[in-house]
């Protein structure tokens, strides 16, 4: 069952500026009624006040957020290869009449008023979905909706290597918002190293997923600090957004785009589900 979501323009532009996340959060459990593989269509309002299509997220996973998460407990994740962000600028065509013609009730004078609170996410029919596909055909894609190479980014941040971060951003063809670049250049390199050291002490160097302790075999702390909500998707550099994982699990998390479900503290790798065995800080 596909869904339609009104993405408040302030939230949409902030999320895009701070790292396109390919995910959405809601307090309405209806968000989790969507099936993996279905489309969540999002529309927003551009700076001219027109309602335009913002994204089609093909759902890859459904997870729950940490308790008291400000945007609600329910989260969906879009497939990175198949999801699309559309260029929601002043040249984008209005989609208001299309949305008003769908099966959802949208009779308010201002379209956005029909999509407030829990009503921001709505069920749509397969026929509605096909109408939105037609409306999206030929739309320009948002060039900034790209995921930075997360493992390179995390490695540079972990080492406090500002030049490596700078080079990574220079290589990014679509550019990075000024606020996001400032964060990656300054705050992240100076904060992250201490946070990972804290994790190493808390878990005595053990992987939180499998319990492997490299100090027993090699005499060194070799596990990595992994950002649960990836830095490249706008995640915070905060202890509660970090897990200590062995290199194998770190590589698998990124290769499989596996996200932590706070409901039961598991990662879904597609072919298997694994539990976080050690948790003393979240």
- How do residues 143-200 score in pLDDT, each as one tens digit? 888 777 777 777 676 666 777 777 777 776 666 667 677 766 666 556 677 889 999 9
Contacts of 217 (CB under 8 A, 6+ apart): none
First to last CA, the chain: 33
Nearest to 230 by CA among 78, 20, 9: 20
Residue with tokens 């202890």: 239
Which residue did the predictor score with more confidence, 182 or 120?
120
Whole-structure pTM value? 0.87
- Report whether CATH 3.40.640.10 matches the domain 3-136: no
The pLDDT tens digits of the residues spanning 212-245 come to 999 999 999 999 999 999 877 878 888 999 999 9
* Residue extents of the structural domains in the chain: 3-136, 150-275
Distance, CA of 29 to CA of 266 (rounded, Å): 20
The pLDDT tens digits of the residues spanning 13-63 come to 888 887 788 999 999 999 999 999 999 999 999 999 999 999 999 999 999
273 pLDDT higher than 70: yes
């Amino acid at each position: 069952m596909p869904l339609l979501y009104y993405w408040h323009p302030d939230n949409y532009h902030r999320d895009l500026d701070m790292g396109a996340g390919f995910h959405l959060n809601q307090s309405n459990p209806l968000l989790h009624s969507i099936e993996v593989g279905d489309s969540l269509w999002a529309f927003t309002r551009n700076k001219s006040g027109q309602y335009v299509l913002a994204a089609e997220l093909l759902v890859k996973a459904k997870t729950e957020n940490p308790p008291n998460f400000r945007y609600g407990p329910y989260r969906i994740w879009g497939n990175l290869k198949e999801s699309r962000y559309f260029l929601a600028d002043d040249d984008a065509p209005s989609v208001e009449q299309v949305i008003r013609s769908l099966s959802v009730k949208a009779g308010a004078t201002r379209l956005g008023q029909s999509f407030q609170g829990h009503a921001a996410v709505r069920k749509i029919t397969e026929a509605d979905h096909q109408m939105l596909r037609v409306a999206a055909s030929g739309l320009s894609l948002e060039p900034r909706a790209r995921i930075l190479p997360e493992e390179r980014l995390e490695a540079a941040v972990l080492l406090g290597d500002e030049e490596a971060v700078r080079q990574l951003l220079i290589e990014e063809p679509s550019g990075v918002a000024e606020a996001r670049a400032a964060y990656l250049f300054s705050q992240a390199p100076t904060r992250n190293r201490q946070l990972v050291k804290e994790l190493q002490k808390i878990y005595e160097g053990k992987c939180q997923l499998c319990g492997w302790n490299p100090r027993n075999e090699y005499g060194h702390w070799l596990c990595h600090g992994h950002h649960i909500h990836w830095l490249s998707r706008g995640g915070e550099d905060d202890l509660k957004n970090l897990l200590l994982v062995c290199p194998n699990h770190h590589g698998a998390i990124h290769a499989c785009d596996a996200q932590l479900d706070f409901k039961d503290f598991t990662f879904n790798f597609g072919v298997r589900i694994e539990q976080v065995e050690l948790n003393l800080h979240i």
